[in-house]
Structure 1
Amino acid sequence: MHTTQDPFQKANYFFRKADYVKWHRQQSKQQILRSQVGFIETAPSRPKACQGCAHYHGVAYGTAYESRHMLICGFHPYGWGNQGTCPDWEGGF
């Protein structure tokens, strides 16, 4: 049985791969600049209420840099907005 791969699936894979390579290259350049200036430690990007939570996702979605949206978790897509601990926090890390 011969299976054919959807051409759109293959194209999407290559776009995602190219986007990741571009992101990784930018992160490497920023790390080099930080180390040259003396800033070796980077601030964590994870919101304070989400640190150590098993539900944390933390992946940005979108194709253009200006229109990317960070998905924090399934319960609170933009992060826990209130002060204090998140009521859905579950340890896992």
Structure 2
Amino acid sequence: MNASHTHFQSANACFRRSDHARWHRQQSKRHILRSQLGFSKPETSRPEVCEGCIHYHGIAYGYGDQRSLLICGFHPLGWLGELCPDWCGEP
């Protein structure tokens, strides 16, 4: 292993540590602001009709502008009605 590769790895690790520290500070500030403003828990991005459903997936796939959120296996874009016919609560 040459010296330049080692320097690159140590610089990269330093940037990752500082980025994580910055992210952690921002999360701490958000937590403090939420507690001061009366927010007990953060808002969920889960649709109301999917609350408590075991089929909910909620992970975005793709890159850049092509990202799309997969809500569940039965209804990839989510259920638009008031009561999902495939809703199944946690056992």
Same fold (TM over 0.5): yes
Query: How many Å apart are 1:67 and its aligned residue?
Result: 2.7
**2:46 aligned residue:** 46
**Structure number with higher helix proportion:** 2
Matched, 1:36 2:43: no
Give the number of equivalent residue pairs.
68
Show structure 1 runs of 5+ residues with no match.
1-20
Instruction: State the distance in 1 between where 2:90 and 2:42 align.
Output: 23
Instruction: State the distance in 2 between where 1:63 and 1:28 align.
Output: 27
Q: Deviations over 1:21-56 (max 9, x none)?
A: 99xx4x973663463374543211110000010100
Instruction: State the distance in 1 between where 2:48 and 2:88 align.
Output: 14
Matched, 1:61 2:58: no
Show structure 2 runs of 5+ residues with no match.
1-18
Q: Find the residue that maps to 2:69 and give its secondary structure.
A: strand
My pick for the range that moved more, 49-58 or 36-45, is 36-45
Look at both structures and tell me which one has the larger radius of gyration over its CA atoms. 2
TM-score norm. by structure 1 comes to 0.56
Question: Are residues 92 and 29 of structure 1, via their aligned partners in 2, closer, same or farther at CA, if it must alter by over 3 Å?
Answer: same
**% identical aligned pairs:** 43
TM-score norm. by structure 2 comes to 0.57
